[in-house]
Amino acid sequence: MEDILKQIALCVEKGKIAREFPHPAELAGQDGVYELTQRALESGIAPQEILSQGLIAGMNKVGELFQAGDVFLPDVLVSARALSMGMMHLKPYFHSGAVKHKGKVVIGTVQGDLHDIGKHVVSLFFEGGGWNVIDIGVNVTAQKFLEAVAEHQPQAIGLSALLTTTMVNMEPITRMIKTTHPGVKVVIGGAPVTQSFADRIGADCYSPDPQGALEFLNKHCS
């Protein structure tokens, strides 16, 4: 049992989506996440174990490598694609309640900013870490964040900004969330954001990379 979970984790890490994909060269012709997850379920391994010890474990390794600068965005994207193949098999178990997310995160790019790539990459890591991500888009007002928090009851919200001129809009959102939903953690990130800025506006977490933000969620919100 352990072997197949390790194989799933390795395939996520290496971006081996399915047998038909030649990438990566060292795993060409072998089963990928798609086939291995199916086989693991057929052999009776609990879906929750496949998720945590296979899929999440693999994505976690990618996150560590990305944080260390040892892999780059294309590696992350292909790993996330591989992970999604496994998630496809687990979908019915999420619906039935046999598999549970660690919690919910509402994520969006703040008002004044249309940038969506950074937010997308962070979402991939959160999903790959076992979180249910509700992406509410770009140019999101404080009011819209509040409405999303009221509707989805997340454990945390993630705010993204690309520009110094737009990151200032994180402050009113953080203030409103802390006033109305003090239990919801505020996680912020983006090119101009710094720890001192996060401290100044009262955010709970700043991370220069997605893995750091995921580690915060796992430690403080699940």
Partner 1 sequence: MTSREVLTAIVKDKRCPERMGLHESFWQDTQREWEKQGLPPAVNILDYFNLDVREIQGSLFRTTSIPVDEQVVDEDEQTVIKVNGWGAKFREWKNRPGVPEHLSFDLVHEDVWKKKYRENLLGLDLRRFPDLEKLKENYRAGMVSDRFCVYYQLIIFEIMRKAMGDLILLEAMYLSPRWIHDFCDVVTNNIILNLEYMIREVGKPDGIWLYEDMGYTKAPFVSPALYQEFIFPYHRRVADFIHSYDLPFIMHSCGKIRPLLPHIVEAGVDGLQALEAKAGQHVVEMAEATGNKIAFMGNLDIRAFESNDPKTLEAEIVPKLAAIQKKRIPYVFFSDHSIPKSVNLETYQYALELHKKYGRY
Q: CA 122 → CA 31, 96, 114, 176, 213, distances in Å?
A: 28, 27, 16, 23, 8
Q: Distance (Å, rounded) from C-alpha 212 to C-alpha 86?
A: 24
Interacting residues with partner 1 between 126 and 145 (CB under 8 A) = 138-139
Which residue intervals of 43-169 are DSSP H helices?
Answer: 47-49, 57-67, 73-96, 117-128, 142-152, 164-167
150 near partner 1, rule: CB under 8 A: no
Q: Closest approach of Cβ 158 to partner 1, in Å?
A: 17
Helix axes 33-42, 73-96, angle to 10 degrees: 30
Q: Select from 87-95, 111-119, 145-153, 196-204 the region that touches partner 1 (CB under 8 A).
A: 111-119
Q: Which is nearer to partner 1, 184 or 201 (CB)?
A: 201
Region of 112 on the Ramachandran plot (φ > 0 left; ψ -120 to 50 alpha; else beta): left
209 near partner 1, rule: CB under 8 A: yes
Q: Select from 47-55, 77-85, 148-156, 211-219 the region that touches partner 1 (CB under 8 A).
A: 77-85
- Give the pair of three-digit tokens for residue 84: 């999604």
- Give the pair of three-digit tokens for residue 215: 């580690």
Residue of 172, 183, 179 lying closest to 221 (CA atoms): 183
**Binding residue for partner 1, selected from 90, 162, 201, 203, defined by CB under 8 A:** 162
- List, in order, residues 6 or more apart from 113 with CB less than 8 Å away: 138, 139, 160, 161, 162, 163, 166, 169
Q: Which is nearer to partner 1, 132 or 139 (CB)?
A: 139
- List, in order, residues 6 or more apart from 152 with CB less than 8 Å away: 104, 106, 134
Measured in residues, the chain has a length of 222
Q: Which is nearer to partner 1, 6 or 23 (CB)?
A: 23
120 near partner 1, rule: CB under 8 A: yes
10 near partner 1, rule: CB under 8 A: no
77 near partner 1, rule: CB under 8 A: yes
**Binding residue for partner 1, selected from 10, 19, 21, 144, defined by CB under 8 A:** 21
Q: Which is nearer to partner 1, 21 or 94 (CB)?
A: 21
191 near partner 1, rule: CB under 8 A: yes
64 near partner 1, rule: CB under 8 A: no
Per rule CB under 8 A, count of chain residues that contact partner 1 = 33
The residues of the shown chain that bind partner 1, judged by CB under 8 A, are 15, 17, 21, 23-24, 69, 71-75, 77-78, 81, 112-118, 120, 138-139, 162-166, 191-192, 208-209
